[in-house]
Amino acid sequence: MSMLAAITRHELRRSLRDRALPWLIILFAALAAYGAWNGARWAEERTDTVQIVADEATDGIAKKREQFAELKPGATPGFAGPQFTPFRPVLRPGVMAPLSIGQAEAYPYAARVAPMGDIRIFDAFKVDVDNPAVRAAGRFDLAFVIVFVLPLVLMAATFDLWSRERERGISAMVVSQPVSVTTLLAGKALSRALVLLTPIILATLAVLYVAGARDLAALAAVALVVAAYGAFWIALASLINVFAKRSTEAALAGGAAWLTIVVLAPALILATVDIIVPAPSALQFTSAYQAQSQDIRKAQRLAREAKGPEVIRDPAPNIPDRTRGFLKDRAIEDRTLAPLIRRHEEALAERRAVLNSLRLFLPAVATQDALDRIAGSDADRALSFQAQAMAFMKVTKDWMAERFDRDALLTSDDYDHIPKFEFKEPPAGAFQTGVLIDLAAILAAGLLLAAGVALGRRAATTI
Amino acid sequence: MTTQSAHAPSPVLVVARNQLRLMVRDNRLRLLAVAVVLLAVASLATGMARVQAQAVERHAATQEDKRLWDSLGPVNPHGAVHSGRSVYAPVAPLAAFEPGLSDFLGSSVKLEGHSQNPSRDRPMEGGSAISRFAGFSAAWALQVVAPLLIILAGFTIFSGERARERLKQELGSGASARVLVFGRLIGLTTASLTLLGAFVAAGILTLAIANASMNEGLRLLAMSIGYGLYLLVFCSLTIGVSALFPSARAALVSLLAFWAASTLLIPRIAPAIAENLHPTPSAPAFEDAVSEEAKNGVSGHDPRDERLLALKEKLLKQYNVTKVEDLPFNFEGVSLEFGEKNSSDTYNRHYDKLFGAYANQTAVQQAFSVISPNMAMTPWSRAFAGTDFAAHRLFLREAEDYRYELVQALNNDITRNKPTDGGVAIYRTDVSEIADRVAFEPRITTPAEAWAAQKSNLLILSIWAAVSLAFAAWAATRLERTT
């Protein structure tokens, strides 16, 4: 152990004298700052957008209050039927949003809930009007800098960890000393990790703090993820140096490894999944949904017409029977369409489960996933919002049915007591199970590489 | 003797042939090139299957939409306007080669009265963390991986101790540095174009399988010319840098830095900067602005209701009557036609402004092609594949023209059918017959349209090629002096 400490100290002194390292760290910090600024700007815009949607409900209710104020004494406020109450459940960006935009643009962030609504409550927020070319390029956020750029910085700083000594003929002299190659490589890797990862982690946390992402537990989780991912790449550089005899070879191998791990493997695996477990067709689902819905509504319309003109009770109820009929019809439609929706959602969930499990074998994807989860821009949070919004719509339906039963229109004061949506964040916050699984996957991959270094140590001594 | 020298190959070609032979004998390079071609062919095959499935799916959805519309039966035409119809974007066969923006563009538009909906059903929806790593395609392999292969194949051609020793011998035996540089450049370029040829051959094969038209072949040819220039840039830069740097390590680091910046970083940073300089509104903000203008006019002081009232007064005066019921047509239809024109004009103004912002963003991105040839290559490739925004905008424009024509035909039917019973019964008619009079036949942009929009990018690529060739020539003169 003391030998390892001595080598690490010696290598630390050498690393600190390397004039290229500060520039690499400055490059990373500059890109990280730009990424965090981009992320913060995106979060700010998303917050404003969400507020516009939330204001639709507030403005709608304010308008109803104005109508109440203008209502003539004794007149029935037909506009105050519970079915006309606007609800806008929204998903606000999390406090760590500047870290990663993640999947936040691939899922709806709000819903236009009306008590008589259906699953199409999200439709308006599935479309966007920003430039698709900008989306297709991929967002330049801090997560991109960590997942894509950090490995390049680490590879540039560590690709000749041992190969340089071998190339210059110093390695023979070094291995002739009473020290194992494994300890030597471990000391070198440890020193580079300390010299590189300490300022990189500090820079990451600093830019996040400045960008407004100030949750301490989440910052700690980010530090852990960056440390684990960084350690994985330094372990990979060590493994490459066990086998590469020349620095050029090591650089080539490092570049190829980066291309494979960060770019090709995830893209190709995703392409394979697209063939084996394709996403259920949104077009087919929409067509089928429209067809069934239209058939049901047509049948209901014909049944209504067959009954003849509507008979209005005397005295007329506040909520017309025709509206109650619509509520019943909508309940029948919901029940009839439920199996179609369930089948589609199950197919989506099955594909997502496959995609999620793949991250266990892909450290870059596990890192992206962990950062998305910490930022609150992951698919699970978006899906949780959808589930909670749908559950909320059920609450509004029950609330409406109860008022229908009492034939109770709303009063101006009632709008203070209508159901309210509040998004429940996943328990455990930044250290949620998904993040812990990601961390375990990255660490396991790093340990596997370290084991490879130990097993291949003989190759490191050949000249 | 004279006859022999007349038939002797040029020294440049001899060097080129030797360079090619050396690269073919390099097992690592051969393996890498074959792996890339195989990956690209696999991606092309899966891309083709996907494109064909999309075409079948969209055709089926179009048929189903027609069936649903026709089965509405006798309904009020304006009720039908609210039921709406859906139209589906045409599928470009070359999307298998260059998916471009396909995953980020909606594949259908819901057409209904009073609003111009953005396209929906984007394949990028509903992903997972791994979805951020998507995008491998034959075009991407040519834009990103092929330049890397060129760098790996060529960075040691002149740099490094071994190469320098060999160079001294070659120069000593009478060869000029210029001949060596251009010979090796021809060798490296030939190998790169062979790689491109393999991609193009695979592309032609998939187009043939898909029974694509000659037009598609023309598009592929245009794309190939762009890629040829693009790869020539990387070949020239690699040879130039290799000749300039005595150390292989320095040459490799410089070339890899340029490759990473030009193919990975700038293509991400440029759009972000463009978006910051020319921001676009969010969908709800866009919708709010349109609603406000439709209601209160462009000036904000010209309410829709007052404009409609003025129209009513004008018609009453024109027909010399005092009540709308006495007009020879149904004023409700006129009112609907007026409303539709008002909202459509408003949407058109806002969409024009929005797409103007997109155009400004594109101009900013194109400015980055001064430091990254990829910024000129990508739009060129996407435009000829029919997977860029221009192709999508054409679909949106056609969809809107169709929507407006259909909605106004339905509204006009109400105008022409004045209620005879004092307006008690709801007017109903067979809307399928009205819809049959209006056809929606979407097309993808023609090669001529793509050329008109993209010729500046070809010019940029040509300038890049010329400058990088000049750089290689300059490096050759330096090489002669320093060796």
Domain ranges of chain B: 9-125+133-482
At B300 the pLDDT is 62
To 10 degrees, what angle do helices B146-154 and B214-244 make? 30
Residues B183/B9, Cβ–Cβ less than 8 Å: no
- How many Å apart are CA B225 and CA A395, to the nearest integer? 61
User: Kind and range of the H or E element at B85?
Assistant: strand B85-88
Helices (H) and strands (E) in chain B, counts: 18, 5
- Which residue of chain B has the CA closest to A353? B128
B411 shares contact with chain A (CB less than 8 Å) = no
**Spacing of C-alpha B455 from chain mean position:** 14
Inter-chain residue contact A270 with B106, CB threshold 8 Å: no
Tens digits of residue pLDDT in A43-101: 999 999 999 999 999 999 999 999 999 988 888 888 999 999 999 999 999 999 999 99
Tens digits of residue pLDDT in A5-48: 888 898 889 888 888 889 999 999 999 999 999 999 999 999 99
A49 → closest Cβ in B86, B103, B285:
B285
Inter-chain residue contact A103 with B129, CB threshold 8 Å: yes
Query: What secondary structure letter does DSSP report for A146?
Result: I
Tens digits of residue pLDDT in A406-415: 999 999 999 9
Q: For residue B274, which residues of chain A lie inside 8 Å, CB to CB?
A: 134
Q: Single out the residue of A407, A188, A222 nearest to residue A316, CA to CA.
A: A407
Inter-chain residue contact B145 with A259, CB threshold 8 Å: yes
Residues B273/A131, Cβ–Cβ less than 8 Å: no
A359 → closest Cβ in B88, B129, B145:
B129
User: Kind and range of the H or E element at B116?
Assistant: strand B115-116
Going residue by residue through chain B, which has 483 residues, state the pLDDT in tens, using 9 for 90 and above: 444 455 667 888 888 888 888 878 777 677 777 877 887 888 888 888 888 889 999 999 999 999 998 888 888 888 888 888 999 999 999 999 999 999 899 899 999 988 888 888 888 888 899 998 887 889 998 999 899 989 988 888 888 766 677 777 877 777 788 888 999 999 999 999 998 999 999 889 888 887 888 889 999 999 999 999 999 999 999 999 999 988 887 888 889 889 989 998 999 999 999 999 999 999 999 999 998 888 887 666 667 788 888 888 999 999 889 888 888 888 888 888 988 898 899 999 999 999 999 999 999 999 999 999 999 999 999 999 999 999 999 999 999 999 999 999 999 998 988 877 666 567 888 888 888 888 898 988 999 999 999 999 999 999 999 999 999 999 998 887 776
Q: How far is CA A80 from CA A67, A357, A408, in A?
A: 9, 49, 9
**Which residues 110-129 in chain A show a CB within 8 A of chain B?**
110, 123-129
At B298 the pLDDT is 67
The total number of residues written for chain A in this structure: 463
β pairing state of B429-430 and B108-112: unpaired
- How many Å apart are CA B227 and CA B211, to the nearest integer? 24
Q: How far is B120 from chain A (nearest CA, A)?
A: 6
Query: What secondary structure letter does DSSP report for A309?
Result: S
Query: What secondary structure letter does DSSP report for A110?
Result: B
List Cβ neighbours of B463 (8 Å cut-off, separation of 6 or more).
none
Indicate whether A291 pLDDT > 50. yes
Report the SS3 class of residue B109. Answer: strand
- How many Å apart are CA A257 and CA A93, to the nearest integer? 35
A379 shares contact with chain B (CB less than 8 Å) = yes
At B293 the pLDDT is 87
Alpha helices in B73-160 (DSSP H): 77-83, 138-140, 146-154
B126 shares contact with chain A (CB less than 8 Å) = yes
- How many Å apart are CA A44 and CA A38, to the nearest integer? 10
Q: For residue B148, which residues of chain A lie inside 8 Å, CB to CB?
A: 255, 259
Inter-chain residue contact A129 with B275, CB threshold 8 Å: no
- Dihedral of CA atoms B332, B334, B338, B341 in degrees, nearest 10, equals 120
Q: Out of A49-53, A306-310, A397-401, B136-140, which region has the weakest mean confidence (pLDDT)? A: A306-310
In angstroms, how far apart are the furthest CA atoms of chain A?
Answer: 107
In sequence order, the β-bridge partners of residue B120 are B108
Residue A362 has which token pair?
Answer: 């892909």
The total number of residues written for chain B in this structure: 483
List Cβ neighbours of B62 (8 Å cut-off, separation of 6 or more).
B87, B88
3-state SS of chain B: helix, strand, coil percent to 5?
75, 5, 20
- How many Å apart are CA A130 and CA A191, to the nearest integer? 46
List Cβ neighbours of A127 (8 Å cut-off, separation of 6 or more).
B106, B117, B118, B119, B120, B283
Radius of gyration of chain A (CA): 30
To 10 degrees, what angle do helices B389-416 and B447-482 make? 170
Inter-chain residue contact B392 with A358, CB threshold 8 Å: no
Q: Single out the residue of B192, B97, B183 nearest to residue B152, CA to CA.
A: B192
- Interface mutation vs chain B, best among A48, A287, A301, A344, most B CBs within 10 Å: A287
β pairing state of B85-88 and B115-116: unpaired
Q: For residue B350, which residues of chain A lie inside 8 Å, CB to CB?
A: none
Q: For residue B57, which residues of chain A lie inside 8 Å, CB to CB?
A: 281, 283-284
First to last CA, chain A: 27
Which of B471-475's residues contact partners 24+ apart within 8 Å by CB, and which partners? B471/B236, B471/B237, B471/B240, B472/B181, B472/B182, B472/B185, B472/B236, B472/B237, B472/B239, B472/B240, B472/B243, B473/B178, B473/B181, B473/B182, B474/B240, B475/B181, B475/B239, B475/B240, B475/B241, B475/B243, B475/B244
Q: For residue A123, which residues of chain B lie inside 8 Å, CB to CB?
A: 120
Report the SS3 class of residue B87. Answer: strand
Chain A to chain B Cβ contacts (< 8 Å) = 216
Which of A166-175's residues contact partners 24+ apart within 8 Å by CB, and which partners? A166/A245, A166/A246, A166/A463, A167/A245, A167/A246, A167/A247, A169/A463, A171/A461, A171/A463, A172/A463, A175/A460, A175/A461
- Interface mutation vs chain A, best among B50, B103, B131, B133, most A CBs within 10 Å: B133
Residues B159/A321, Cβ–Cβ less than 8 Å: no
- Which residue of chain A has the CA closest to B134? A267
Average pLDDT, chain A: 91
At B2 the pLDDT is 45
Q: For residue B249, which residues of chain A lie inside 8 Å, CB to CB?
A: 247-248, 251
Indicate whether A431 pLDDT > 90. yes
Q: How far is CA A189 from CA A146, A185, B261, in A?
A: 19, 6, 27
Q: How far is CA A356 from CA A109, A342, A383, in A?
A: 21, 20, 14
Inter-chain residue contact A255 with B365, CB threshold 8 Å: no
Q: Single out the residue of A327, A197, A16, A358 nearest to residue B133, CA to CA.
A: A358
Q: How far is CA A422 from CA A89, A389, A425, in A?
A: 8, 9, 9
Place of tokens 């304010």: A62
Q: How far is B362 from chain A (nearest CA, A)?
A: 9
User: Kind and range of the H or E element at B429?
Assistant: strand B429-430
- How many Å apart are CA A370 and CA A142, to the nearest integer? 13
**Which residues 285-324 in chain B show a CB within 8 A of chain A?**
285-288
In sequence order, the β-bridge partners of residue B75 are B429
B61 → closest Cβ in A134, A139, A283:
A283
Report the SS3 class of residue B120. Answer: strand
Inter-chain residue contact B252 with A248, CB threshold 8 Å: yes
**Which residues 201-240 in chain B show a CB within 8 A of chain A?**
none
Inter-chain residue contact B46 with A274, CB threshold 8 Å: yes
- How many Å apart are CA A246 and CA A50, to the nearest integer? 55
Q: For residue B117, which residues of chain A lie inside 8 Å, CB to CB?
A: 127
Residues A318/A407, Cβ–Cβ less than 8 Å: yes
- How many Å apart are CA B196 and CA A98, to the nearest integer? 41
- How many Å apart are CA A100 and CA A143, to the nearest integer? 5
B291, with CB counted inside 10 A (0-12, 13-18, 19+), is: middle
Residue B47 has which token pair?
Answer: 């891309």
In sequence order, the β-bridge partners of residue B108 are B88, B120
Backbone dihedral angles phi then psi of residue A286, each to the nearest 5 degrees: -60, -45
